[in-house]
Structure formats: structure tokens, C-alpha cells
Amino acid sequence: MKANIQAHNPPLFHAVAQIIEAARTATYRSTNTILLKMYWEIGQLIVEDEQQGESRAAYGRNVLKKLAEQLTIAFGKGFNERNLNNMRAFFQAFQIWNAVRTELSWTHYRIISRVENQKLRLQYVDYAIEGNWNTRTLQRNIDSQYLGRLLKTSDKPAKEPQKADHFIKDPYIFEFLGLPTDPKQNELQIETALITHLQKFLMELGKGFAFVARQQHIVTDTSDFFIDLVFYNYYLKCFVLIDLKTNKLSHEAIGQMDMYVRMYNDLKKGADDNPTVGIILCTEKDETIVKYSVLAENEKLFASKYRLYLPDEEELKQLIEADQVRIELDWENQTKQ
């Protein structure tokens, strides 16, 4: 239907589309402002409460942990201990609300709040807005001391068209509104179909796989990630993480999975659990690559015990390749009908 509108009356379609996009942008900007103000006020309360006598270390261990537990039970995601610490840092970095520019997302401010120099913090806010930097660009520019080099040359960052992408894609907006996050909404639908069948396959394998989560949100100090599938194997007594990439196997994909494994070992693994293992599935048109990701110190355990219960690489490879063919044929048949 949309294609017919575009074909027969492009000016009308584009005019209406601009109204819709403007309304969506205004909605997300308004929501983002409310979210930032809420986090700023929470940070203010935490700092004021902390200043009543407890040391920062004791406060972080005791009060924030308990507060995070209570808030998560009452309001769901977005109020874990890490994020409460981020709110405190946000208020400490911007103690005057009028200094907060609501053109940037919460994730932008989580990054900027860690810049120690106040003058640089404010400059990064201005340049991030002027250059329409996404959060990855912002972090990269801070890490490379971009602003210092920029001020030496007196150049200005190239201006990008102003968009609301950094609001719309920020998972904290969805959590704040109580909506399910969908970080891969613009990727090929085939990925969703592959993950769905992979989940079913492992559950039916009969080797101890218990489903834990799908598209699990993982937060680091600078970024947000989503693990495609998380299982717990009750024979191996370990978590099994699975990530599907619709491109070539890269060092970045391996490094990302190693990070997931380390984070799970640090944050989720129980005292009696064995080390976490990751599986990376990289699909291309002509080839599928399956790689197990296990930390070096656990390779002997993987070889001697994990192999007994985990599907081998060739088994997973054949599953993915067969699925790709089947899904593509199904779509072709649906298109012809």
C-alpha cells in the first residue's frame, strides 16, 4: 500500500511522512527530557543522602545495593546498582539542571559524566549536539582526546543533519516506558527466524539445556549490548551464550563474546557453577562458521567435559545452512502467491 502511495502521489506521501517523523521526534524528545530529569533528581537524592555521613565505599556497598533491589522489584529494569551509580555521577557532573542539554540521550550523559574536567564535559555536550554524534562516536572521540586536538587546530566538527536516532534507539527510553526493547528491529527478519529455530533445536536436544533469556540486555560503562540467546546447562552447570552474526567472523565478534563470557562469570555465575561458554554463529551467503568462545584458563575443562553435552560445530553449521535455505524458499513462495 505504501509503495502505491509513493508511486501515484509522491509529494503527498512525503508531506505526510514528514509530519509523522516530526511527531515521533517530538514525542521521543519529550520522553527523553522527562527521563533525564528523573535520573538527575534521583542522582541528587543519592548524593544528598550520601553526604549525611556514610563513606562513599560503604554507601555503594550497602545503601545502593538495597535501593536497587527495591526499585527493580517495584519498577522493573533501569534501576540496578550500576545505573544508580551512573545517576549519582550524572548529578555530580551536572549539578545545575539548566546545564543539561536534552538533545542528548541518557547513554550520552553516562559517557560524558566520566570526563573529569568540567570545562571539557560541557564542550563535549556542545560538540556532540553540533556534530550529531552517536554514542560510539562520542566515546571514540573522548578516548582519542579528539576535543584537545580539535581545539589546537581550531576546526569545527562536520555538522550532520539533526535526527532523533539517539533517542529512538536508546534502550533506556523503552525501559522507562515499559516497552519491550527491540535493538535489531531494522535488521533482516531472517535472523529472527534463525534464532527462533536454534532456540527450539537446543531445547529439544536433550542434553540439559534450559532457556534463560533472548536478546538479553547487557550494560557496560560505555555501551549497551544484546545477547541473542542465553541458556543454562544443568548437566554442565554453566551458562551458554549464543550470538548470531549475519556477516564474516571478525576479531570484534570474538572479542565481544569474550567480554560477554567474562561479564557472566563475574556477575551471574554462582559459586558452584562452572565457567560460562559462548558460541558465535557467523552466517554468509556461501558459508557458515561456528566458533566456541571459552577463556584460555578453561580450555581443558571445555575439551574434557563440555564437548560431551554441547553440539559440535558441524552440527550447528548444518542446522543454520538448512534453515537459511528453507526460510528463503518459504519467502519466495509467499511472494509468488
Residues 9 and 142 in one domain: yes
Q: How far apart are the C-alpha atoms of 290 and 278, rounded to whole Å?
A: 11
The CATH number of residue 220's host domain is 3.40.1350.10
Give a yes or no: residue 168 inside a domain: yes
**Residues 6+ positions from 165 with CB-CB distance below 8 Å:** 134
Last residue of one domain, picked from the residues 147, 177, 207? 177
State the average pLDDT over residues 263-287.
83
Number of domains forming the structure of the chain = 2
Q: Do residues 198 and 248 share a domain? A: yes
Amino acid at 24: R
Which three cell numbers, joined as nine digits, stand for 4?
502505491
The candidate with the shortest Cα–Cα distance to 34, out of 83, 100, 91, is 100
The whole-number average pLDDT for the span 77-106 is 91
Based on the domain organization, do 173 and 221 belong to the same domain? no
What is the structure's pLDDT at 164?
54
Please state which of the ranges 13-17, 211-215, 318-322 shows the lowest mean pLDDT: 318-322
Both 154 and 8 in one domain: the answer is yes
Residue range 92-115: mean pLDDT, rounded: 92
Tell me, yes or no, whether 157 and 207 share the same domain. no
> Are 310 and 207 in a shared domain?
yes
**Residue-level pLDDT at 13:** 82
160/193 same-domain check? no
Nearest-angstrom CA–CA distance, 183 and 168: 10
Assess whether 140 and 239 both reside in one domain: no
CA distances from 83 to 77, 270, 316 (A): 10, 22, 37
Cell numbers standing for residue 76? 522493573
Per-residue DSSP letter, 134: -
Is the residue at 184 inside a domain?
no
pLDDT of res. 34:
92
Give start and end residues of each alpha helix (H) in the chain: 2-8, 10-50, 56-75, 81-93, 106-112, 118-130, 135-143, 146-153, 165-168, 171-177, 189-204, 251-267, 299-304, 313-336
> What is the average per-residue pLDDT within 198-203?
84
Given a cut of 90, whether residue 197 has pLDDT beyond it is no
pLDDT band at 318 (very low <50, low <70, confident <90, very high): confident
232: three-class secondary structure by DSSP: strand
Both 13 and 39 in one domain: the answer is yes
Domain extent, residue 237, equals: 189-336
The last residue of a domain, from among 114, 149, 177: 177
CA 231/CA 315 separation, integer angstroms: 18
The one-letter amino acid code at 160 reads E
Residue 230, H or E segment: strand 224-233
Quick count: other Cβ atoms within 10 Å of Cβ 20?
A: 9
Q: What is the pTM of this model?
A: 0.55
Among 239, 230, 183, 186, which Cα is nearest to 211's? 230
Q: What is the pLDDT of residue 60?
A: 59
Residue 9 has pLDDT above 70, yes or no: no
Verify that 120 and 144 share a domain, yes or no.
Answer: yes
Question: Is 173 a domain residue?
Answer: yes
DSSP one-letter string for 23-88: HHHHHHHHHHHHHHHHHHHHHHHHHHHHTTS--HHHHHHHHHHHHHHHHHHHH-TT-SHHHHHHHH
- Residues 13, 139: one domain? yes
More confidently predicted of 233 and 284: 233
Question: Could you give the count of Cα atoms lying within 13 Å of 271 in the half-sphere of its Cβ?
Answer: 0
